[in-house]
Amino acid sequence: MPVEAAEGYGVNISENTTVKTIKFLTNSPELELFPVWTADGNYILYTVKNNESGALNSYRMKADGSEAVRTGIGEGNLIGFNDLNPNGTELIVTKSDGSQSDLYRIDMNSGIATPITNDPQKSEGWGAWCRLGLKIIHTQELPGSSSQLWIVDRDGSNNTRLGTSENIGTGKDWYPLGLRVIYSANNSKEKPDLWTIEWYGTNQTQLTDTPYGEWNPAFSPDGKQIVYVSDEGGSPELWLRDIQGNYRVKLTENLGILDAYPKWSPDGSKIVFTGHSSGNSSDIAVIELASSADIVPSPKITNVEIEPLSTIFEKEVANISVTVKNEGKNSSEGYISVSFPNGERIERVEGTGGNIKTYAVGDLIQGKTGEISVQYPSVELLQYQWNTQQEETINITVKPNSGAEKIVFLIRASLKNDIAGTYERDPLISEDIDQEGFNVYNYSINVSKSSLKVIIEPQAIETEAKWKITAGPDTEWHPSNYTINNLTAGNYIIQFSEISDWKKPDDVAVTVNGDSVNKGIYTENPSSGSSSGGGDSGGGIVTSLESSRNIDAKETASRYINSGLHVKFDFPMSATCIMNLEFDPKKTFKRTAATVEMLKEKSAQVPQLPPGKVYKNVNIQVGNAGTLLSENIENGSIGFKVEKPWIRENIDKKSEIRLWRYNQTSWNKLEVKKIGEDDQYSYFEAKTPGFSSFVITAYTREENTSEEMKIEQKDPEDTSSLKETYRNSSTNEKKDNKPLSVGADNGKGENGKKQESGGKIKSVIVISLPLLALLIYLGAKKRV
C-alpha cells in the first residue's frame, strides 16, 4: 500500500519495485570519491584520497569494478572530479589555490589543465557541463558571503550569475534538452531544497519544500527522473523521484554518505555513487535500476505528421496527425491534446480513441490549477484503459487564419499513474506552456500568401517594358518574369509602362488566390511608320481568332525577318507544347510576332478534328493574318514535345505520334521524326509548308481510311495539289467503297456521338463538289 509523504512531495514507493541490485566496486581503507562515467558508459573515473598525504589521486576502472588503474589526470591541488563533457574529451575538476578554489578543464588525451575561472578574490568550483559542451554551471563564493549559482562559457568568458538562490550545494546538473539546470540551495532555510532555473536566468522554480534536506541532484538521461541525496529517513541516503513529483523511491538503506554524488550512466540503467560498507567510510558503488516504464505509465509522442509538410496556401487546409504510445505500465486513462493558440478554424477531427472532444473559445476545460475558460480552440482524445505498447492517433484538419504567416499548434500527451493518482506527461519540460498550464511541444506550418508573376512579350522588349500592381505590399515597377510574393488573396490591377513605338497592354484585372502567372503582350503601334529596311509589314500585332475561354496557354516571340536569312522563333517559357518554329523567308518583313496558342478543345478555326486520339490542339500564327502564307516561306519546321506518360498510355507498336495541319479545307499529315527525349518528354520535329491550326495525335494505322491522306507538300491554293487530293480521295472510295470523311475519329463526330453513314456522305459532298466543279471547269476549258 503506498504511503503518502509530506504534502506536494509524491507517493513513497518501495525500492523493491525500482532497484535490481546494488554492487560496491571498491573496498579499500582509503576514501574513494567523486565518481564520473565516461561518455560510452564503459568506465568510471574517480579519486582516491591518500591516507598519508591527504592528496587526491586519479583512477579509472571498468564499469564492473575491474582493471582499476591510476591515470594521474588532474592531480595536484585536486579537490574533486566534477563532470565529463558529452563527448568525453574534457573533464571539469575543482582545484585549490591556497584558501580559494577554481574550475579547470582537463584534456583527457594530453592531461593538460586549463583554468576556466581564475579570480583570486573568489572561490569557484563544482561545475557541470551543458549538453552541448559549451557552457558550465558552477558555484561561486566571495569571502564572508553565501555561495551563488553562476554560468560561464567553456573558455571562461561571460561568467554570469543565475537566479537569486544562495547557499548553493556542490552537486548540480543540466536537463537533457539543455533548457534548464537543477541544483540545491538553503536560502534562508536550515536544510537545502531542490531548485530548477532556465540557463538564461528565468523561471526559477522550487521543486521540493519539505522539512528534510535534499541535495546533489542529477537528471536521468531521458529527463523523467531525478536522483538526489536526502536525510528524509534520518541519515543521508539516495532517493529517486519523477520530475513531476508524483512519486519518490528510497534507493539505499544505511549505505549513503553526505557526499554521495550520484551520477547516471549514459544509458540511464545505472547510478554510480559514493557510499559506505564493511566499515569503510567511502567506496564506489553502482545501483542497477528497473526501467521507469516498469513502474509507471510512460506516454511518448512517437509521430507527428503534417500534410502539406511545411507550407500551405491561405485557402488550403492542413492535416495534422499525432500518435502517442504507452511505453510503460498499463494506465486506466490517457489523453492527447492539440491546441491552436492563434485561433485557427478546426474543420474536421477523427481518431482511434474512445472519445474525442473539440473545445471552442468560452468552453470550460480542466486546467492544471482547476477549471478554466478556453481562450483558443483545442482538441482532446480520451482513451480509457491504455495498455502497455498501445498506440492511439488523433487526426485534425485545420484552416489558417486570413493573413496569417503560420499555423501554430501545441501538443502534449498524458497517462494516468494509477499508483499515485496523478498523470505522467510528455513533454515533462519545455519552453512552451498551453492555456491549461502544461508543458507542450510547439509545432508550426508556414502559410504562404499568394504570389503574382507577370511575363511580358514579345521577348524583344521584355527588358524595356515594366509592370506593377496599383495596390498591395509592392507597387514598384518591375521587369518581365518578376514575382511579387506575400500577396493577400484578392483582386489586383496590373499596369504596364509606355514604350516608344509600341502599344502597351490595357490594365488587367486579376484575381490572385495561390500562385498566379499573367502575361502582358505589347503590340507594335501601327502609327509608328514602316520599317526603314523597305520590307513589308510583318505583323507586330497578332490578333487571335480563338475565344479566350478556349486558350489553355499562350506564348509569343518576335523577330526581324530578312529575306534569305534563316529564322527561328524559340519559346523559352515552355508555356505550350511547341518549342520552336523555323523557316527560310522569301521576303523581308518588319518585326514579326509568332504566337502559339495551346487550346483546351478543338480550335474554332477548324470544322472537325483529324483521326487519332488528341494530345493537344494548337494554333500557330506568324505575323498578321495572311502575312506569312506558304508562298512567303520555305523549309518550314515545328519543334514540339509530348509527355512520356501520355505516350506510354496511348502509343503501341501499331500507332505513332502524328502532327496534323489544317490547310483551310482539309487536314494534312506532316512528316514527323523523333529528335530526342529526357525524363519527362519525347521531342519531335515536323516539316510544314505554313502555319495555321495543328493537332498532335496518337494515330493507329488501322483506325480508318484517313491513313491514305498524303503528306502535305503544298497549300491547296495550288491547283495541282487539289487534283492530287481529289485523286487520293477517289482511290479511297474505290478501295473501301466508303467516302473519305474529314475529321472522322473512329466514326465519331465532333460531339463525341457515333455518326451514321449519311453524315460521312455529307462530308464528301462538302469536300468533293468544289473539287469536281473545278475539274469540270478545267476540262471544259481544255476542249475549247
Q: Quick one: pLDDT band at residue 71, thresholds 50, 70, 90?
A: very high
Q: Supply 705's cell numbers.
A: 481510311
Q: DSSP letter for 217, please.
A: E
For the segment 244-297, what is each residue's pLDDT rounded down to a tens digit? 888 888 999 888 777 789 999 999 999 999 998 766 679 999 999 987 677 789
Quote the pLDDT of residue 509.
84
Q: Quick one: pLDDT band at residue 14, thresholds 50, 70, 90?
A: low
Quote the pLDDT of residue 237.
93
Q: Is the pLDDT of residue 733 over 60?
A: no
DSSP 444-478: EEEEEPEEEEEEEESGGGTTT--EEESSSS--S-B
Order of strands, edge to edge, in the sheet holding 135-141? 123-129, 135-141, 148-153, 160-161
Q: Is the pLDDT of residue 21 over 70?
A: yes
Least confident piece of the model among 537-546, 649-658, 667-676? 537-546
Q: Is the pLDDT of residue 756 over 60?
A: no
Q: Quick one: pLDDT band at residue 138, thresholds 50, 70, 90?
A: very high
Whole-number CA gyration radius for the chain? 42
Q: Report the alpha-carbon distance of residue 22 to residue 41 in Å, rounded.
A: 17
> Any residues with CB less than 8 A from the CB of 224 and at least 6 apart, and which?
242, 243, 292, 298, 428
Quote the pLDDT of residue 162.
95
pTM beyond 0.75: the answer is no
Quote the pLDDT of residue 544.
64
Least confident piece of the model among 90-94, 155-159, 222-226, 255-259? 255-259
Rounded to 5°, angle at Cα 278 from 82 and 31: 30
Q: CA nearest 372: which of 438, 314, 424, 278?
A: 438
Least confident piece of the model among 424-433, 551-560, 602-611? 551-560
26-39 average pLDDT score: 93
Q: Quick one: pLDDT band at residue 725, thresholds 50, 70, 90?
A: very low
Q: Quick one: pLDDT band at residue 724, thresholds 50, 70, 90?
A: very low
209-238 average pLDDT score: 92
DSSP 498-564: -BTTEEPPPPEEEEESSEEEEEEE-EE-GGG---TT--B---S-----S-GGGEEEEEEEEEEE-TT
Quote the pLDDT of residue 742.
31
Quote the pLDDT of residue 58.
97
Quote the pLDDT of residue 655.
86
Q: Is the pLDDT of residue 165 over 90?
A: yes
Quote the pLDDT of residue 11.
56
433-441 average pLDDT score: 94
Per the DSSP assignment, residues forming a β-bridge with 661 are 668, 694
Q: Is the pLDDT of residue 6 over 90?
A: no
Quote the pLDDT of residue 560.
72
Give Cα 316 to chain centroid, integer Å.
16
**What is the average pLDDT score of the chain?**
82
Q: Is the pLDDT of residue 427 over 50?
A: yes
Q: Is the pLDDT of residue 309 over 80?
A: no
Quote the pLDDT of residue 752.
38
Quote the pLDDT of residue 624.
59
**Do residues 59 and 43 touch, judged by C-beta distance below 8 A?**
no
- The number of helices, as runs of H, and strands, as runs of E, in the chain is 3, 59
Q: Is the pLDDT of residue 715 over 80?
A: no
Q: Quick one: pLDDT band at residue 16, thresholds 50, 70, 90?
A: low
Strand positions, DSSP E, 601-717? 613-622, 633-643, 655-662, 667-669, 672-677, 681-688, 693-700
**Do residues 657 and 572 touch, judged by C-beta distance below 8 A?**
no
Q: Quick one: pLDDT band at residue 619, thresholds 50, 70, 90?
A: very high
Of the ranges 258-267, 305-314, 700-709, the best mean pLDDT one = 258-267
Q: Report the alpha-carbon distance of residue 723 to residue 718 in Å, rounded.
A: 9
Q: Quick one: pLDDT band at residue 43, thresholds 50, 70, 90?
A: very high
Q: Is the pLDDT of residue 103 over 60?
A: yes
3-25 average pLDDT score: 63
101-114 average pLDDT score: 96
Give Cα 91 to chain centroid, integer Å.
39
User: How many Å is the maximal CA-CA distance in the chain?
Assistant: 145
